[in-house]
A and B are shown apart, each in its own frame.
Chain A
Amino acid sequence: MTDISLVVELTVLVLAIFLGFEVIAKVPTMLHTPLMSGTNFIHGIVVVGAIIVLGFADDGFTKAVGVVAMVLASANVVGGWFVTDRMLEMFKRRPEGRE
Chain B
Amino acid sequence: MISDPDVVGLLYLVAIVCFIFALRFLSSPKHARKGNWVGGAGMVIAIATTLALDGIGNWALIIAGGVIGSVIGIIGARTVKMTAMPQMVALFNGVGGGAAALVALAEFHVAGGDLGGEEIVSTVLSALIGSVSFAGSMVAFAKLQEWLSGRPIVFTGQNVFNVGILLGAVALGVALVAGVDEQWVLIALIALALLFGVLFVLPIGGADMPVVISLLNAFTGLAASATGFVLDSLMLIVAGMLVGASGMLLTLLMARAMNRSIANVLFGAFGQVQTGAGGTRVDDGRTVRATSPEDVAVQLSFARKVVVVPGYGLAVAQAQHDVRQLAELLEEKGVDVAYAIHPVAGRMPGHMNVLLAEANVPYDQLKEMDEINPDFPQTDVALVIGANDVVNPAARSDPASPIYGMPILDVDKAASVIVMKRSMAPGFAGIDNELFLEPQTTMLFGNAKDSIVKLIAAVKAS
A residues adjacent to B (C-beta < 8 A)? 1-4, 6, 9, 12-13, 16-21, 23-57, 59, 61-63, 65-95
Residues 85-137 (chain B) with a chain A CB within 8 angstroms: 85, 88-89, 91-93, 95-96, 98-100, 102-103, 105-107, 109-110, 118
Contact indicator B242/A16 (Cβ below 8 Å): yes
Contact indicator A50/B65 (Cβ below 8 Å): yes
Nearest B residue to A94 by beta-carbon distance?
Answer: B362
Does any Cβ of A come within 8 Å of B80's Cβ?
A: yes
Contact indicator B102/A45 (Cβ below 8 Å): no
CA distance A94 to B93 in the complex (A): 33
Sample of 20 A–B contacts (CB below 8 Å) = A1-B231, A2-B5, A2-B9, A9-B232, A36-B349, A40-B243, A47-B99, A48-B233, A48-B236, A53-B106, A56-B56, A67-B65, A68-B65, A78-B77, A83-B89, A87-B354, A89-B33, A90-B358, A92-B362, A95-B362
Residues 1-52 (chain B) with a chain A CB within 8 angstroms: 5, 8-9, 15, 19-20, 22-24, 26-30, 32-33, 35-37, 39-40, 43, 46-47, 50-51
Assuming A24-B249, A31-B32, A81-B43, is B229 touching A9 (CB within 8 A)? Answer: yes
Provide the residues of chain B in CB contact with A80, threshold 8 Å: 73, 77, 92, 96
Q: How far is the CB of B144 from chain A (nearest CB, A)?
A: 13
CA distance A47 to B62 in the complex (A): 11
Contact indicator B246/A84 (Cβ below 8 Å): no
Contact indicator A6/B106 (Cβ below 8 Å): no
Nearest A residue to B59 by beta-carbon distance?
Answer: A55
Contact indicator A44/B29 (Cβ below 8 Å): no
Contact indicator A46/B99 (Cβ below 8 Å): yes
Assuming A38-B26, A81-B36, is B106 touching A16 (CB within 8 A)? Answer: no
Does any Cβ of A come within 8 Å of B261's Cβ?
A: no
Contact indicator A62/B350 (Cβ below 8 Å): no
Contact indicator A30/B62 (Cβ below 8 Å): no
Residues 238-255 (chain B) with a chain A CB within 8 angstroms: 238-247, 249-250
Contact indicator A53/B234 (Cβ below 8 Å): no
Nearest A residue to B110 by beta-carbon distance?
Answer: A62
> Which of A34, A59, A75 has the most B CB atoms < 10 Å from its CB?
A75
CA distance A72 to B242 in the complex (A): 20
Provide the residues of chain A in CB contact with B343, threshold 8 Å: 29
Does any Cβ of A come within 8 Å of B378's Cβ?
A: no
Extra contacts besides A33-B346, A62-B106, A66-B61 (6): CB < 8 Å: A13-B225, A24-B23, A35-B350, A46-B224, A72-B102, A79-B91
Partner of B56 from A32, A55, A67 at Cβ < 8 Å: A55
CA distance A88 to B232 in the complex (A): 34
Q: How far is the CB of B240 from chain A (nearest CB, A)?
A: 6
Contact indicator B47/A55 (Cβ below 8 Å): no
Provide the residues of chain A in CB contact with B351, threshold 8 Å: 33
Does any Cβ of A come within 8 Å of B66's Cβ?
A: yes
Provide the residues of chain B in CB contact with A52, threshold 8 Å: 50, 53, 56, 231
Contact indicator B85/A33 (Cβ below 8 Å): yes
Does any Cβ of A come within 8 Å of B214's Cβ?
A: yes
> Which of B47, B51, B229 has the most A CB atoms < 10 Å from its CB?
B47
CA distance A95 to B92 in the complex (A): 34
Does any Cβ of A come within 8 Å of B69's Cβ?
A: yes
Does any Cβ of A come within 8 Å of B220's Cβ?
A: yes
Assuming A42-B22, A69-B103, is B232 touching A2 (CB within 8 A)? Answer: yes
CA distance A12 to B258 in the complex (A): 33
Assuming A19-B20, A28-B27, A30-B353, is B99 touching A45 (CB within 8 A)? Answer: no
Contact indicator B66/A43 (Cβ below 8 Å): no
Provide the residues of chain A in CB contact with B77, threshold 8 Å: 78-83, 86
Contact indicator A34/B106 (Cβ below 8 Å): no
Partner of B217 from A39, A84, A90 at Cβ < 8 Å: A39
CA distance A72 to B238 in the complex (A): 21
> Which of A70, A72, A93 has the most B CB atoms < 10 Å from its CB?
A72
Does any Cβ of A come within 8 Å of B237's Cβ?
A: yes
